[in-house]
Chain A
Amino acid sequence: MSVQEVGRPRRRKEDARLLTGRTRWTDNLTRPGLLHVMFLRSPMAHAAISRVDVSGARGLPGVVAAFSGQDFAAEQGSLPCAWPRAADTVIPEHPPMAVSGVRYVGEAVACVVATDRYRAADALEAIEIDYEPLPAVLDMERALAGDSPKVHETGNRAFDFTSTHGDVEAAFRDAPVVIDRTYVQQRLIPNAMEPRSVLCDTDGETYTMWSATQIPHILKVMLAMVTGVPEHTLRVIAPDVGGGFGSKLQVTPEEVLCLLLARKLGRPVKWTESRSEGNLTVHHGRDQIQRIRLAADADGRVRGLQVRLLADMGAYLALLTPAVPLLGAQMFNAIYKMDAYEFACTGVFTTKMPTDAYRGAGRPEATFGIERIMDELAAELRMDPLEVRRRNWIRQEEFPYTTISGLTYDSGNYEAATDRATALFGYDKLRAEQADRRDKGDPVQLGIGVSTYTEMCGLAPSRWFGSNNAGAGGWEHGSVRVLPTGKVEVITGSTPHGQGHVTAWSQIAADALGVPFEDVSVLYGDTAIAPKGLDTYGSRSLTIGGIAVLKACEKVRDKARRLAAHLLECSPDDIEFEAGAFRVRGTESQKTLQELALAAFTGHDLPEGVEARLDSDATFDPENFSFPHGTHLCAVEVDTETGMVRIRSYVAVDDVGKVVNPLIVDGQIHGGIAQGVAQALFEEAVYDADGNLLTTTMADYLLPSAADLPDFTLDRTESPATSNPLGVKGVGEAGTIASTPAVVNAIVDALRPYGVNDVRMPCTPERVWRALGAEGVRR
């Protein structure tokens, strides 16, 4: 028997072409007669459009066409919101190109199609637009006041959602400790390294769209629904896609408009955004104000939790906009037992870019809120923050455990992860150093931040989606064909954009079929090649898509077993499978998978009910989410004189169940932590008082470089998931969900002797210094 592939740190099959520049990013692609599209975008946050004149652009060199919103008005439809979870959700009309008015800076108002992008850019200058300015609506609290200007005629309230579990009033009544805090989740810009790009070609009857998207399958359905172009004439391809982090989980105005332009002009068109265009118009993430109240007993036991969120939708509801904050509804209670929990969220329209999924989508926000306030509880009770968590978390012997919010966590071991993390971190030694620095009045103080997170991921159970008013389910599809030469093609409906599906799926198929890792190829990302799928987001690829591949392999094995029994003249029950061969038990008589694949290909001698070709397919729709968890510990040095924060060490012990490829898992955790740290320390989308985005470039929006981040120390515990046969859990978002509160808790921990109990993110030197300035003098 060959070495088991699942669990091996296989180097990635994807790397070779990425390392040598043989890439197929959408912007690399061309077609004969390709035209280039550029969009003119609103410089106003809120205005009526009184006049658009594109005629000046039309005669310019290289210009093939120029259009305004009016030219698309009859055919462009309204962009979809697929998950209005709250029953009262208001979904305003969302035209791909603005027709009568604009509601955020960057909204497309006209376009030019030209023979090259330089000519198209030149021609944008010749378009004339008259705007009648309307007041910008930027502040969520003010937007909800009765006298606020309205973003939409229906008002600024998108929805109200409430869920209550247990008797909240009783939990807070006479509670010895009540902590009441307000936290701000700043607005973020995802910044996948590959800018968005769309190419659409047509032969007059059918349309092929290449797009830098996470969701070719969903995009195809939605394009048909929005534009009325028949679904069976559409093919969507996501070629190489350079990162997404949720930002390419969208049906964008530009995708719809490129399809309509290809139809209008009968020629291939391509649009590729610049980074500054992207910062304006790729959906943003986060942006919540969280009011959190926690009631506890004097010994630190949590009695109840009350969460009230204001969530900034931006100007419209994009694909999942209103659902994102509500993914927190079942997550604020996290790993803790409590008697009562109330969650309320109001979605608010503002004249800003719509928000939507960004790595973690609702769960980082919830984890931040609860992990921050657990530290506040510890501080109030003068207790170690790990001890207060230990007194409240679900103990290992209590799994499976149904939480106050109604989720059933199948497995976990918070004790083991925390013990391992504290040992690696040198927790007690760092606490001793912290005490020493405090005693000495060291200007550089040490802070220790704790985050014992869990999350619900592997976004799947279709029934759960259905009962929460989502427009789609969460199954995933895989198919497997053993080719006549014995090589294997796997087709997956889960579309990668950097994760390493090809490598991981090869490992799964190699084990399941007893074939070499090298003999497996994986096809994806094209609705004509992988017609069934629901794509990649919510850390769902392995736990849903990988399992679908495994199940398809099992079906192939069953078929091969029946064929082998027929050819070897025995009962299928007498066939045993080992190392890629089907053997009559207790004999030397066998058929290899390759021999059976050839026999299934020729079809010369097939048993009754066995069809030609050795292939099969399967969908998987699990009963439950997966619940990765872990303990992240962060030590920061804070210079109290300058406000500068330096991460001195960071330890993450994560439990993602069984691991298919430890190299890939560690990579996901590394990158996830970095993005969470970036929220804590560096990143914020800033609008000015008129609603202009100030952070349109990478010079203004601070993405961390290698020099801004430390190395991360990683380890794992392993509590297999019980909701899938491999025991795997999601890992793509875990690091981001965990790390933000670990860093901010560390900063606040360093500054607590100065009377500081919060620093608003991003915790820039100025903000830290100002937090100290108000209180530090009292020390």
Chain B
Amino acid sequence: MPRITVTVDGIKYEEDVEPRLLLVHLLRERLGKTGTPIGCDTSNCGACTVMLDGKSAKSCSVLAVQADGRDVVTIEGLGANGDLHPMQRAFHEEHALQCGYCTPGMVMAAIDLLRDDPDPSEETIRHGLEGNLCRCTGYCNIVRAVRRGAQEMGQAVNTP
């Protein structure tokens, strides 16, 4: 069984894994990282989105062996020093979650979206989040939250 080394939320793990093991199952069932949920089996819903070396990836579509030597950040590792990440805070302020099942993936995808466009329009946000499905909110407040998160993150960058 292949041995991999993977850093998840700042902690280094060494694991023996079956080649077919999905990254999301490694996270959830081996490492106890259940903050990342599974919503589908065809990589359509995006609930399982994590950061893989700083870019968003659907962890149901990555084999654990492919994460060997790489850095994974999940929703559980997002905030610093116990504070919420500005995007998490924006989701709270704008009531951008109801059942919350899509939220971890949605927040990750939203942060990734801002790497390409730190000040996205409503249309850019809507298209940028196309790979993440939500059944509760109708996306209205998610779009508002991403704009708010972008503004706050922009200010954080601009503040010395």
Interface residues of A (CB under 8 A from B): 11-12, 14-16, 18-23, 25, 27-28, 116, 118, 191-195, 240-243, 245, 274-276, 497-500, 663-664, 666-667, 670-675, 697-699, 703, 705-707, 709, 711-712, 735
Chain B residues positioned under 8 Å from A712 (CB to CB):
138, 140
Complex CA distance for A652 and B136, rounded to whole angstroms? 17
Of A23, A499, A666, which one neighbours B34 at CB under 8 angstroms?
A: A23
Known: A275-B40, A698-B42, A706-B126. A21 touches B104 (CB 8 A): yes
Chain B residues positioned under 8 Å from A116 (CB to CB):
29
A194 touches B39 (CB 8 A): yes
Residue on A with the closest CB to B9?
A21
Chain A residues positioned under 8 Å from B47 (CB to CB):
193
Complex CA distance for A711 and B101, rounded to whole angstroms? 22
Chain A residues positioned under 8 Å from B125 (CB to CB):
706
A194 touches B74 (CB 8 A): no
Interface residues of B (CB under 8 A from A): 18, 20-21, 28-29, 33-42, 44-45, 47, 74-76, 78-79, 84, 88, 91-93, 95, 97-104, 107, 122, 125-127, 129-143
Of A195, A245, A667, A699, which one neighbours B95 at CB under 8 angstroms?
A: A667
Question: Closest CB of chain A to B51's CB: distance in Å?
Answer: 13
Residue on B with the closest CB to A275?
B40
Residue on B with the closest CB to A242?
B101
B135 touches A19 (CB 8 A): no
Question: Closest CB of chain B to A362's CB: distance in Å?
Answer: 20
Interface SS of chain B: loop
A18 touches B135 (CB 8 A): no
A671 touches B101 (CB 8 A): no
Question: Closest CB of chain B to A407's CB: distance in Å?
Answer: 29
Complex CA distance for A570 and B138, rounded to whole angstroms? 56
Interface centre among B101, B122, B142 (most CB of A within 10 A): B101
Complex CA distance for A499 and B97, rounded to whole angstroms? 10
Chain A residues positioned under 8 Å from B139 (CB to CB):
670, 674, 705-706, 709
Complex CA distance for A674 and B133, rounded to whole angstroms? 12
A243 touches B37 (CB 8 A): no
Complex CA distance for A666 and B138, rounded to whole angstroms? 11
B100 touches A19 (CB 8 A): yes
A498 touches B136 (CB 8 A): yes
Q: List 21 A-B contacts (CB under 8 A).
A: A11-B95, A19-B75, A19-B100, A19-B103, A25-B101, A192-B99, A193-B135, A193-B136, A195-B38, A195-B39, A242-B100, A667-B141, A671-B135, A672-B138, A674-B139, A699-B42, A705-B139, A706-B125, A706-B129, A711-B140, A735-B138
Question: Closest CB of chain B to A198's CB: distance in Å?
Answer: 16
Chain A residues positioned under 8 Å from B18 (CB to CB):
118
Known: A663-B95, A705-B131. A23 touches B40 (CB 8 A): no
Chain A residues positioned under 8 Å from B141 (CB to CB):
666-667, 670
Residue on A with the closest CB to B143?
A706
Question: Closest CB of chain B to A671's CB: distance in Å?
Answer: 5
Complex CA distance for A584 and B134, rounded to whole angstroms? 53
Complex CA distance for A22 and B100, rounded to whole angstroms? 11
Complex CA distance for A230 and B32, rounded to whole angstroms? 34
Chain A residues positioned under 8 Å from B84 (CB to CB):
19-20
Complex CA distance for A709 and B100, rounded to whole angstroms? 20
Chain B residues positioned under 8 Å from A241 (CB to CB):
99
Complex CA distance for A498 and B20, rounded to whole angstroms? 34
Q: A194-B37, A275-B45 are in contact. List 20 more A-B contacts (CB 8 A).
A: A15-B92, A19-B91, A19-B100, A20-B35, A20-B84, A20-B88, A22-B35, A118-B18, A192-B99, A193-B99, A242-B37, A243-B99, A275-B40, A276-B41, A667-B137, A705-B132, A706-B134, A706-B139, A711-B140, A712-B140
Complex CA distance for A189 and B157, rounded to whole angstroms? 44
Residue on A with the closest CB to B42?
A697
Of B88, B101, B126, B133, which one neighbours A19 at CB under 8 angstroms?
A: B88
Interface centre among B76, B93, B97, B132 (most CB of A within 10 A): B97
Question: Closest CB of chain B to A675's CB: distance in Å?
Answer: 7
Residue on A with the closest CB to B131?
A705
Of A20, A118, A500, A735, which one neighbours B79 at CB under 8 angstroms?
A: A20
A11 touches B133 (CB 8 A): no
B135 touches A705 (CB 8 A): no
Complex CA distance for A12 and B145, rounded to whole angstroms? 15
B100 touches A698 (CB 8 A): no
Complex CA distance for A670 and B134, rounded to whole angstroms? 12
